Amino acid sequence: MSARGQLLTAKELADRLSLSVETVWRYTRQKRIPFVEVGPRQYRYDMAQVLAAMDSVAPSVRDSQGQYKAKQEGSGEKKMTYADYLQLPDEPGCRHEVLEGCLIQDPSPSVRHQRVISRLFERLRAYFANVDPDGEVLLSPLDVCLSHETVVQPDLLYIPGSDAAVFEQTHVCVPPQLVVEVLSPATESKDRVTKMEIYRRAGVAHYWVVDPSACTIEAYSLRNDYYARIAAGGVGDTLTHPDFPGLEVLVEQVFP
């Protein structure tokens, strides 16, 4: 085995072999390629030993790079479930979600992204502490299971006191009352399209999209089972919300 400094992460190995990261993890779980466990669910790989082992691995391992999504229904490939998700190894610098059976990998958020979340979290926590003392505003990372094949990690979420039983569990298993996603270049399309539709179908009553590049906040609410934008604001605006009386967010104070 190579020295520790020469070992590769799953993503580095996937890039060099033109594989998907999910394929590397799957063969790691199946112990079909050699690996070194450097921590709980953290693995590293020796390139030479993996290449030698690849000769005995089925040709299907050599799929195209970056194919994180499961194959289409009827292809014979099993969609990923929450149980499968729990078996994924920890990968520094990455965050994972499962969207309708498809494994999605995004880079860890930036410092600016986290600063925006922190500022908005403080404002929302103060508001809901007054109007719903038994409720809770929570930060990612936290698994929210919206179905057997959908596990998301919203940047912020609010669980009302009526669903307080979930606070004793390892993950959230009810639709949050409010979900907030802070956009980044890597997630904007997913947050504005794919996850918005997932949240809509799951019955998440309120969905906020926060754009650090434009310094805007958009608030959507379910109306007749579809999201309608009922509030929005940018620099110089105070965001108010008809469904949250007394809530005022000075938009420019959210963005560092």
Q: Which residues of the chain have pLDDT under 70?
A: 1-5, 18-20, 54-77
Position 77 scores a pLDDT of: 59
Position 95 scores a pLDDT of: 87
Tell me: do 238 and 120 sit in the same domain: yes
Position 57 scores a pLDDT of: 44
Which domain does 185 fall in, by range?
A: 111-254
Tell me: do 151 and 92 sit in the same domain: no
Q: Which of 10, 157, 149, 197 is nearest to 88 (CA)?
A: 10
Q: What pTM does this model have?
A: 0.71
Position 4 scores a pLDDT of: 43
Tell me: do 130 and 243 sit in the same domain: yes
Read off the pLDDT of residues 165-190 as tens digits, 9 standing for 90 and up.
888 888 999 999 999 999 998 888 89
CA dist 169 and 167 (Å) reads 6
Position 59 scores a pLDDT of: 37
Q: Where among 84, 107, 130 does a domain terminate?
A: 107
Our separate counts of H helices and E strands in the chain read: 8, 14
Tell me: do 196 and 116 sit in the same domain: yes
Tell the residue number behind the tokens 């669910």, with chain if given. Answer: 41
CATH classification of the domain holding 182? 3.90.1570.10
Beta strands in 183-246 (DSSP E): 206-211, 216-223, 226-233, 238-240
Tell me: do 92 and 175 sit in the same domain: no
